[in-house]
Structure 1
Amino acid sequence: MKTTTTLNKLLLLCIVICFCKISQAQVTIGSGESPNIDALLDLKETSAGVSNKGLLLPRVSLTSTALASPLSAHVAGMTVYNTASTGDVTPGHYYNDGAKWVKLFPEVSSVTPKFFYMPSVVLPTDTADPSYNSGTQEFTIDLYALYGEQFGLTNSASSVKGAGATTLPVLASNAMEYFITYYDNTVFQNIALSNTGVLKYKLFAQFTYSEKTFMNIVFKVK
């Protein structure tokens, strides 16, 4: 009977010790070193804190920033490495803000300007142009798509790059903000810009072209 009581006490002591250990909720991975007092998870290979290894996040194939897939739902704080190039996502680290995926390190280097002018394009004023909607009497121009075509040098018949030149950066549509700093208000009216770089405008019933009949369109890097 006494032996049983002793065993029960030892078992209770072990449970208490295990509970205390679990309740610390701090873990070191990579070595037997104790975790930093403020770290829930401490990746530490040596006591000196140096290592020749890194952290490899889960690799997934996202389908777009708006869709949680391949996860079942958006989870704020979730961080992954995306391997896919589709829609508005490209390979890289993404975190989830609870409603969408956001790229952690956009393809913007220290030499990339904080803003730049839209490449030169001709804005149609002919109602026979495919961009014109006769029902709304409105022109719709995808400025972002035109920027992607020009910076991507997609038309080899009308673009060229220097010998040894690599590529121009083509940022995601949601990595920029769109502005019109000037337009000819005697020709264009009802100007509207979407968050993804789609321009809509109407023309006055009577207008005359002049040397100021153009728009200055600026892309600002977020």
Structure 2
Amino acid sequence: MNDNSITARYLANRAPVSAHLSEDQLSIVVNTAQIPLDSDAVVNQSWAINIATGHESAAPEVDPDIKKYAPNDEPVVVSPNKKFLLIAKGRGSTVDVNQPYRWTRSIRNFDAIGAIDNPPQLQVVDLTTGDSRWITDDGWRWSSARWSPNNDLVFACRSLDPLEQDGYQYANVITLDGTVRHLAIPGGRSIVGTWLADGRLAVLIASPQGDPPGSQARLYIIDGDDSHIIDVPN
């Protein structure tokens, strides 16, 4: 922008585009975009914010493989053995740089008319061969993917019922051939899952389905086909 209008000054500020936890889990990496006052080009940068101290520094360069297979800043998770990428993105959707309010994210994309992109699905890329395949292919929106320690399973949430009759998130485990197992635990308004070192799965459910709004969260430990609840202190 070569002027000093309110819009130009607004666009010159750093705008957060996406964020993720660093590999060492010590920092939050935030990707930002801005248009400097003396330029018409968008400047994309990454910043690492230390969780303990709040100190901000420039983040390391994005992995070239991630840039190659997720050029539009789609959420990417690298497998523990560094051989696979797991990407959440709309099938065939791209960013229209002439309409910056349109983008692809692992949350619902909409304008005043309705959904803009296809709902994000999960794609696995084999970095050894460059081959890719979809492991989900439906009308749900998939997000919050996590690799298992053995690189053979993926935890992921599905949300926003394509029939628009269900507003909950649900926990799932997916094999690399695309077999989806819906975990036999309640849905929730928000779900976070993580794999434990021994291969079990911990799933935290906020405002569980069937409980009154604002009810206490539940923490489930999933071991194969079995699950049990861990009490979460108030």
Based on CA coordinates, which of the two structures has the bigger radius of gyration? 1
More helix by share: 1
With structure 2 as the length reference, what TM-score do the two structures score? 0.20
Structure showing the higher strand proportion among its residues: 2
TM-score (norm 1): 0.20
